[in-house]
Structure 1
Amino acid sequence: MLDYRAFFADKIAEIQANGQYRTFVEIERLAGRFPAALHHHPDGPREITVWCSNDHLGMGQHPAVVAAMQGSIERSGAAAGGSRNISGTNRTHVLLEREVAELHNKERGLTFITGYAVNDAVLDVLGKLLPGVIFFSDEQNHASMILGMRATRAERRIFRHNDPAHLEELLAAADPEAPKVVAFESIYSMDGDVAPMPELCAVAKRHNALVYVDEAHSVGMYGPGGAGMAAQLGCADQVDLLMGTFAKGYGTAGGYVVGDGPVVDAVRSFAPAFIFTLAMPPALAAAALASVRHLRESDNERLLLHHRAGMLQGLFQEAGIPLVSTESHIVPVLVGDPHLCKRLADRLLNDHLCYAQPINFPSVPRGTERLRINPSPVHSPAAVRHFVSAVDEVWDELGLPRATPVPGAAAGVTPVGVGTAL
Structure 2
Amino acid sequence: MSIVSILERRVEETRKAGRYRNYVSLDRKVDERPWVLEHGESGARRINVWCSNDYLGLSQHPAVIDATVEAVKSVGLGTGGARSISGTSIYHTRLEKEIASAYDKEAALLFATGFTANDATLSTICDTVPDIVAFSDSLNHASMIYGIRYSKAEKKIFRHNDVAHLEELLQAYPVDRPKLIAFESLYSMDGDFAPLKEIVALARKYNAFTYLDEIHAAGIYGATGTGYAEELGVLGEIDIVQGGFGKAYGGAGGYIAGPKAIVDAVRSYAPAFVFSTSSPAPVVAAALASFEYNREHPELRARLLDTVGELKHGLKALGIPVVSDDSHILPILVGDPHRSKEISRRLIDEFGIYVQPVNAPTVPEGTERLRITPTAAHTRQDVEAFLAAIRTVWSDVTTEAAE
Aligned structure 1 segments of 4 or more residues deviating by more than 4 angstroms: none
Residues 149-188 of structure 1: pairs in structure 2 closer than 5 A: 149-188=148-187
Please state whether the residue corresponding to 1:287 is helix, strand or coil.
helix
Question: Which residue pairs with 1:219 in the alignment?
Answer: 218
Please state whether the residue corresponding to 1:361 is helix, strand or coil.
coil
What's the % identity of the aligned pairs? 45
Give, as a single letter, the amino acid of the residue that structure 2 aligns with 1:240.
D
Question: Partners in 2 of 1:47 and 1:78 — Cα distance?
Answer: 31
Please state whether the residue corresponding to 1:137 is helix, strand or coil.
strand
* 1:167 Cα deviation after fit: 1.1
String of CA shifts for 1:197-221, please: whole Å, max 9, x gaps.
0110110121111100000000100
* 1:77 Cα deviation after fit: 1.0
CA 1:129–1:401 in structure 2 vs 1: closer, same or farther (change >3 Å)?
farther
Question: Partners in 1 of 2:160 and 2:245 — Cα distance?
Answer: 26
Question: Partners in 2 of 1:351 and 1:98 — Cα distance?
Answer: 48
Q: Which moved more, 1:321-330 or 1:13-22?
A: 13-22
String of CA shifts for 1:37-72, please: whole Å, max 9, x gaps.
000021111111100000000000110000000111
Question: Which residue pairs with 1:415 in the alignment?
Answer: none
String of CA shifts for 1:213-241, please: whole Å, max 9, x gaps.
00000010000211110011011111100
Give, as a single letter, the amino acid of the residue that structure 1 aligns with 2:182.
A
CA 1:67–1:235 in structure 2 vs 1: closer, same or farther (change >3 Å)?
same
Question: Which residue pairs with 2:33 in the alignment?
Answer: 34
Give, as a single letter, the amino acid of the residue that structure 1 aligns with 2:341.
K
Question: Which residue pairs with 1:252 in the alignment?
Answer: 251
Preserved CA contact (<8 Å) 1:133 1:180: yes
String of CA shifts for 1:119-169, please: whole Å, max 9, x gaps.
011001111100011000111100110111001031111111112221111
Please state whether the residue corresponding to 1:366 is helix, strand or coil.
coil
Q: Does 1:93 align with 2:92?
A: yes
Question: Which residue pairs with 1:5 in the alignment?
Answer: 4
User: What TM-score results when the alignment is normalised by the length of structure 2?
Assistant: 0.98
Residues 192-341 of structure 1: pairs in structure 2 closer than 5 A: 192-341=191-340
Residues 49-88 of structure 1: pairs in structure 2 closer than 5 A: 49-88=48-87
Question: Which residue pairs with 1:147 in the alignment?
Answer: 146
Preserved CA contact (<8 Å) 2:176 2:207: no
Preserved CA contact (<8 Å) 2:332 2:371: yes
Question: Partners in 2 of 1:347 and 1:97 — Cα distance?
Answer: 44
* 1:182 Cα deviation after fit: 0.3
Preserved CA contact (<8 Å) 1:38 1:45: yes
Give, as a single letter, the amino acid of the residue that structure 1 aligns with 2:228.
M
Question: Partners in 1 of 2:398 and 2:289 — Cα distance?
Answer: 47
String of CA shifts for 1:280-310, please: whole Å, max 9, x gaps.
1101100000011011111111101111111
Question: Partners in 1 of 2:3 and 2:144 — Cα distance?
Answer: 31
Please state whether the residue corresponding to 1:257 is helix, strand or coil.
strand
Preserved CA contact (<8 Å) 1:335 1:400: no
* 1:400 Cα deviation after fit: 5.3
Question: Partners in 1 of 2:376 and 2:387 — Cα distance?
Answer: 16
Residue-pair matches, total: 401
* 1:176 Cα deviation after fit: 2.8
CA 1:222–1:3 in structure 2 vs 1: closer, same or farther (change >3 Å)?
same
Give, as a single letter, the amino acid of the residue that structure 1 aligns with 2:208.
A
Please state whether the residue corresponding to 1:198 is helix, strand or coil.
helix
String of CA shifts for 1:376-403, please: whole Å, max 9, x gaps.
110000001101110111112212599x
**Structure 2, unpaired ranges of 5+:** none
Question: Which residue pairs with 2:189 in the alignment?
Answer: 190
Give, as a single letter, the amino acid of the residue that structure 2 aligns with 1:268.
R
Q: CA RMSD in A?
A: 1.1
Question: Partners in 1 of 2:322 and 2:338 — Cα distance?
Answer: 18
